[in-house]
Amino acid sequence: MPYSFFQRLSTLMKRETIFLIAGFVILWNSGFIGAEYGLPHTGPYTLIFWRYLAVIILLALYLLVRKRFKWVGWKVASLNMLIGFLAHGVWLTCVLLALDKDVPAGIVALIVALQPMATGALSGYVTGEETGLYQWLGLVLGFIGVVLTVAFRIDFSSSGSIFGYLIPLGSVTAITIATLIQRKMEIGKGEAKLPLDLTLFYQGLATALALALPAIFIEDLTTEWVPEFIYAMVWLILAVSLGAYYLMWRLIERLDATRVASLFYLGPPVTMFMAWLAFGDQIKLMDGVGMAVVAVGILCTQKK
């Protein structure tokens, strides 16, 4: 085939990757806003349980219609369910608990953006994909940007405030481990690698099962089924749990773990802008300074 064909194919793949990135960043960070709309009407555990119960029902129906619903065995299912428990269950629980303690959505997104630093530090050991000098520079700058913003937001005189701002670190740990395991599966192309729809089903199943107990025994599944809550749930189910996670796993198929993780640095400015539109959350001067430092960090992570 002529060389120009491969050039065109490469250009198309790059454009598709850009669309995947844009879609992921917008949908993923809209989850913080959807959660703020939903939390006044139910508890964090119950919100996640209803959300993922709906997700697995929808995916099960889809897989049945497509005649692709199947049991893949405990060995394969358990690994995919572990990834789901970490990437969906633990990640979301910590985020919602922080929001429930009145930590602003944009700041929760900013703390969660520490994930790229952890991913960059561990990716070489787990996946064999070394983090380059420029990437390390970008990760450090991103970390500094996060610290600048969060430090000026915490009320150090309130132990409740400090605890609320520390909760999202659980999300950082969980999504980092899940991302690295998933990327290692992509590189190895082993038997645990499943089609994305089946992957999302097993991940959603693990999340629903894990959240069932606290939702039932701690929160009694108490829910106000008002229109605002229903609209928020529809968005969280379709756009975030299905759309954003699908795009994230697609990106992990194409890009190394550090580059995918660096996209979380885009979360704070996008979420703060959304929170400003939706709730009128104030954007402070140090938020802008921190985000500017983070932006420089993102540019550096795209180089080796």
CA nearest 229: which of 88, 46, 86, 56? 46
Q: What pLDDT was estimated at residue 124? A: 66
Tokens, residue 49? 């349980």
CA nearest 241: which of 277, 190, 205, 279? 205
Q: Are 220 and 31 in contact (CB under 8 A)?
A: no
**Which parts of the chain sit beneath pLDDT 50?**
1, 3-13
Q: Are 203 and 147 in contact (CB under 8 A)?
A: no
CA–CA separation, 272 and 277 (whole Å)? 9
CA distances from 288 to 263, 273, 299 (A): 18, 11, 17
Q: For 49-86, how does the pLDDT look when each residue is reduced to its tens digit (9 = 90+)?
A: 999 999 999 999 999 999 999 888 888 899 999 999 99
Q: What pLDDT was estimated at residue 173? A: 86
Q: For 130-159, how does the pLDDT look when each residue is reduced to its tens digit (9 = 90+)?
A: 667 777 787 788 778 777 776 776 655 555
The residue count for the chain: 304
pTM comes to 0.76
CA nearest 104: which of 292, 273, 235, 265? 273
Dihedral sign, CA of 135, 248, 27, 24?
positive
Q: Which residues of 169-196 are buried (b: 16+ CB within 10 A; e: fewer)?
A: ebbbbbbbbbbbbbbbbbbeeeebbbee
